[in-house]
Structure 1
């Protein structure tokens, strides 16, 4: 058994940077890769060989400082000398160290030498070829680390391959959510990339965590076909899906067919109607908001349809497509019926009840069997919105819910009512949604209606950031949710697997014991 990877040193030549201000290198994919390592608690450094010009040294040091890397000067890049210098500089680290430098002589282009720093152990005078791995691209580094760590650990570990857009990935990673060394419950996280063959990466993965909405090219909600045929994903996502369908060793934490409802605001509203089954005499009501689908804002009977759906102005208008496309969050609050004319909200749309809720939003996060919530400031009550709209130009209030959600003035909750959250009721709703949607990690928003006290679920989303929950609580719960899903899948697989039988006699005995009949 070896030691897990605890450090990576990258020769500066592999950065492929240009002389200039280090801020210009923020989007450098190599630096992005190194940040993943640093966020994974792997010591990360850029090395350079002396002599080097003062200008280049200053740039490297500034770049390293900007990204919180170390900067290690080495007398030579020789694999006979460098390991000793690295071991001396990193004597406080116990684990395997990877040293990456360009392979000038032939292809592949990168040599990755690895050696261990451990108490009472010395680095050998030279690194044998068996302690070298060769790579064509730096993008292979996480896969290399994953393989080395799995080999070094004696107990079983579960490798979670994950894919999402870079900004989302970095947000999760810098909070420690994606460690490449095992978590306490035995998970290793492997960042997947479509720049490498997906099949090679998935051979190492046991389970896939994806934010598939980041990989949507287009959604057609008016089609009568099945949801899987109405959503077009990137080529890489399609390849990933084909692999999972053809290899039963690897499965998704949440399959694509489980996230389809959260892509469609109309579908979610229809599902939420089932919340009525949770309500009982003598306590608050949990419900969906009143809603109506519209295909055109010029419908001649729109006023009557709004009345029949128990809707009145002001109301909020949202695109039916909930995520995955550019204008999915382009919304409007409509104050007059005539505001619907030429309304700039993508169609088809969902007109939703505007609930007076004292500017208070409760964000709930479901991580497996655990439910967390946070309180956030929200939009003001209707009377405040109406007064505000009269002061400004008449017409609907247009906004992007990801960027410019209109919120109440600080410390000025309209209505002034104290809202009492029935946590037990919402936890029941969370369990109900888990069962109905079949999701492991998701979020939903609750507002409490002034006067009635109704708990209204106004939005549901898949794989939220849950950033309002402290990391030391949320991240372990996130890992536990994934691990329990893996364990549940393994138990299901074991329960349907046929019992081992050594002979026909053994088969008959097993059938007799189980009371089975022969057909």
Structure 2
């Protein structure tokens, strides 16, 4: 296998006998974690921390499925050693001393501790510690040298050379693909750090092959994106988190009016030129989720679904560009809307006030409403404060039951019995709520169990939405209308966290959805 030297970009041979095959463990030498200064300088300035980028590296390795450790030399200053030990505890990783005067004994100690890793050990060290990595190059470890000067470390065919910490993950990906005979499916993923960490903590993104042959590679903007994308078979993204702005000019006009982050824009440009690369999911399929009006129109296609006397549908709605329209009241009536109503911006995300909403009780209060236009006025459904969150991961469907906003009579109390002020809120932060004693309890479903919902009906709706939207992983919220029993879908979103589903169930389902999507795309292109 060949990788490139970080400086000269010349190919460097990394073929070697790999103990146990794939990379099962990574040891980070002190030299790639600590600032490059003398012990005395460091002790005189104890506020100094790890090298830039080291904490990001450690966070990603912590949840990668690859055993991780830190090594340092005997005699290291007390402050430096203490920092490394604290770091190891913080990230739940191992800490070793590595004595160059007795390399065999040090290696033996590590191998005893890590005898169950089931793969090779990759040792990352800086090029300033040539005495260490040349000795270790004969111990069966995969030696990777950081900040290599051409002609020094690259002279050995058993040593891998990289120029940035960010290149380590790409190196591991190279080695593991080679060790498995390229039989794994490599998933490159890109999303904002907080969401990435939420998924990674649950074990969703292992760099070690999964039971169904997936391996995950975090894509980074610290390196050119195109070479990274050439190493992956499928790309997983959360594009709805990567929108900087949306220009509103009459109709939304997706996708022309969307400004993405630099990384998502680079990804979009790459995918436009490489249509054979599998993407979960294509941006064209995600645009409808950004537009609450388009989602409402798609939900109209569910009205033919019925079972046991119940039906599933979207909420009644009306799109408005101006609350002062002369025929506004008539249009509300024609749309089957009665007060109270909930008002939402037409744009579902990507603008600062996309989640600014209001529940309105009087027609005259629409005029001074702070909800941005254009907006979608939606039927407010009495649903006993019970919300059903459904998650679609490929062919599998899961759900969770959550507390929701109270019925209209309780909302009236919250708004002020005499003034009936609109209830304005940000749906990402908090929802109008009531004390437990205030709930009307008119419906047995107020106990928030899943017994009241028709699962077969919702599964049929999920399959219809999957076909209509062309999405692999998405979620939608359902409430059950008191009296009629109608199952009303009030929201649809792309790549939700599905955090209410247990990890041992949700994560394998996520992997299966990704793998099945890839296998399906290969059949389509052949």
Give SS of 1:52's match. Answer: coil
Structure 1 residue 37, shift from structure 2 partner: 1.7
| Contact 1:359-1:408 within 8 A present in 2 as well | no
Q: Offset at 1:116? A: 5.0
Q: Does structure 2 conserve the Cα–Cα contact (< 8 Å) formed by 1:441 and 1:462?
A: yes
1:290 corresponds in structure 2 to 316
Report whether the alignment pairs 1:207 with 2:239: no
Q: 1:313 to 1:182 in 2, by over 3 A?
A: same
Q: Is 1:15–2:39 an aligned residue pair?
A: no
**SS of 1:431's equivalent?**
helix
Q: Deviations over 1:168-207 (max 9, x none)?
A: 0000011011111111111111111121111110111111
CA gap of 1:320–1:29, structure 2 versus 1, over 3 A, is: farther
The structure-2 alpha-carbon separation of the partners of 1:439 and 1:259, relative to structure 1 and needing over 3 Å to count, comes to same
Q: Partner residue of 1:143?
A: 170
Determine the C-alpha separation between the residues in 2 that align with 1:310 and 1:77. 83
In the alignment, is the contact (CA less than 8 A) between 2:254 and 2:287 conserved in 1? yes
Q: Is this contact kept in 1: 2:186–2:214, CA < 8 A?
A: yes
* 1:169 pairs with one of 187, 193, 196: 196
CA distance in 2, matches of 1:192, 1:490: 22
Q: In structure 2, what is the equivalent of residue 373 of structure 1?
A: 399
* 3-state SS of paired residue (2:402): strand
Which position in structure 1 is the counterpart of 2:484? Answer: 452
Structure-2 residue corresponding to 1:39: 63
| CA–CA separation in structure 1 for the residues paired with 2:54 and 2:129 | 22
Partner in structure 1 of residue 507 of structure 2: 475
Aligned equivalent of 1:58: 82
Q: How much has 1:56 moved relative to structure 2?
A: 2.6
Match status 1:396 vs 2:414: no
Deviation track 1:363-411 (CA, whole Å, cap 9, x = no partner) reads: 0011111111111111111101111221798622222211112334348
Superposed CA deviations along residues 110-167 of structure 1, whole A, max 9, x for unmatched, are: xx9797579xxxxxxxx99333211111111111111111111146111111110000
**What's the counterpart of residue 501 of structure 1?**
none
Q: Does the CA contact (< 8 Å) of 1:97 and 1:115 recur in 2? A: no
What is the CA-CA distance between 1:93 and the residue it aligns to? 3.0
- Decide which of 336, 345, 357 is 1:319's aligned counterpart: 345
Change (3 A) 1:431 1:465: same
Residue in structure 2 matching 1:246, options 273, 279, 298: 273
CA distance in 2, matches of 1:392, 1:91: 73
Is residue 2:320 matched to residue 1:302? Answer: no
In structure 2, the gaps of 5 or more residues are 1-16, 36-41, 131-135, 143-153, 446-451
Query: In the TM superposition, what are the counterparts of 1:213-224 in structure 2 within 5 Å?
Result: 213-222=240-249
- Please provide the CA RMSD for this pair: 3.0
TM-aligned CA distance change 1:411 to 1:441, over 3 Å: farther
Alignment equivalent of 2:210, drawn from 178, 183, 195: 183
Equivalence for 2:6: none
Write out per-residue CA displacement over residues 53-107 of structure 1, whole angstroms, 9 at most, x where no aligned residue: 223322222222122222222234998886455335434433111111222399x
Task: Map 1:312-461 onto structure 2 (within 5 A).
Answer: 312-390=338-416, 395-410=421-436, 413-419=439-445, 420-461=452-493
Aligned length: 479
Q: Which region of structure 1 is more displaced relative to structure 2, 207-216 or 162-171?
A: 207-216
| TM-score normalised by length of structure 2 | 0.84
The unaligned stretches of length 5 or more in structure 1 are 107-111, 119-126, 495-519
**Compared CA separation, residues 195 and 426, structure 1 to 2 (3 A):** same
Is the CA contact 2:394–2:512 (under 8 Å) kept in the aligned structure 1? yes
Measured in 1, the distance between the counterparts of 2:252 and 2:333 equals: 31
- 2-side partners of 1:460 and 1:314: how far apart? 22
1:485 has 2:503 as partner:
no
Shift of 1:437: 0.6
Aligned-partner Cα distance in 2 for 1:249–1:462: 22
CA contact (8 A) 1:269 1:288 kept: yes
Partner secondary structure for residue 99 of structure 1: strand
Larger mean Cα displacement after TM superposition, 181-190 or 27-36: 27-36
Paired residue for 1:90, among 102, 109, 114?
114
Name the TM-score, length of structure 1 as normaliser.
0.85
Instruction: State the distance in 1 between where 2:319 and 2:52 align.
Output: 45
Contact 1:114 1:132 (8 Å CA) reproduced:
no
Match of residue 505 from structure 1: none
Aligned-partner Cα distance in 1 for 2:234–2:437 = 45
